[in-house]
Amino acid sequence: MELYFMGTNAGVPSLERNVTSVALRLLDERRSFWLFDCGEGTQHQILRSPLKLSKLEYIFITHLHGDHLFGLPGLISSRAYQGGDTPLTIFGPVGLKKYITTVLEISESRINYKMDIVEHDGGTVFEDDSFRVESALLDHRIPSYGYRVMEKDQPGKLDIALLKQYGISPGPLYGKLKRGESVQAPNERTVTAAEVLGESKKGRIVTILGDTRPCPTALELATDANVLVHESTFLHELADIAHKYHHSTAKQAAETAKKARVKELFLTHFSSRYKNNEQMLQIQHEAEETFPGAKLALEHVLYPIERPLNS
């Protein structure tokens, strides 16, 4: 599991940074990647990345401002030309379906793969055997959502040597034990999962927020996350402007991370007024005063999301 940022600027692209988009790469977990927001130019950024559109499985849109979704029509249209023929599901706020279908209809774009658009107003938006994704409304000028991606705990390794002693061979019984069920050995002895399974691997939590002022919902979504991706549009000296335009400062992002007890904080969605390295380091240092180790999200850098050592 890794994060890969393809856009970290707020509002408009600059020579230094593209507008918002971040991928959650899940090659080991499900041989795919998920995309969070799709600002203009995202498909160009993917071409410069280790990602392949054919592996794109889900897109999660935080809100309907242009710098977060103007890249969708081009990416959707181009996906098939890059080998993408598997289903694609796009999640986002009410209005997303109208936007996508209108653009595709007017441009007479033809999509030769199954595409679903799922509009939501928060709650559990996705769940399968491996992951659950929850969403909640943040505090922005228009409905803006954060996403909490929760990897489910994985069962521990089977004690193969002990299973051999019990006379249990690889096959369906292994699967039952992995699922936590008890089985019967050839000698009619009942073998429980607890006897032969090692300690389970605790799932990781990744929280990716849309544009927002500091708010209780952001804190709830981020609680105990392994990674928090939080907008940091301004330095705190511009806190009044941040509040007026429903954004956050680097200090406020760090305060949320600290209160939520997150393990790692990535700052993103920077105002285009911050251009040079010195200004960007100011943003990082401001956050580090409250949350040591806070990182600036850099585009085209792969950030592994490690499991805790005790999991």
Catalytic (active site) residue 128: no
Does 211 show up as a binding residue in the annotation?
yes
| Strand-pair partners of 28 | none
d(CA 67, CA 71): 8
d(CA 306, CA 101): 38
Number of residues that this document lists for the chain: 311
Does 67 show up as a binding residue in the annotation?
yes
Would you say 127 and 140 are in contact if contact means Cβ atoms under 8 Å apart?
Answer: no
Token reading at 181: 């069920």
Active-site option among 67, 85, 129, 139: 67
Query: Kindly report the CA angle at 245 between 237 and 125, in degrees rounded to 5?
Result: 120
Residues annotated catalytic, as ranges: 67
Binding residues: 63, 65, 67-68, 140, 211, 269
Binding residues for Zn(2+): 63, 65, 67-68, 140, 211, 269
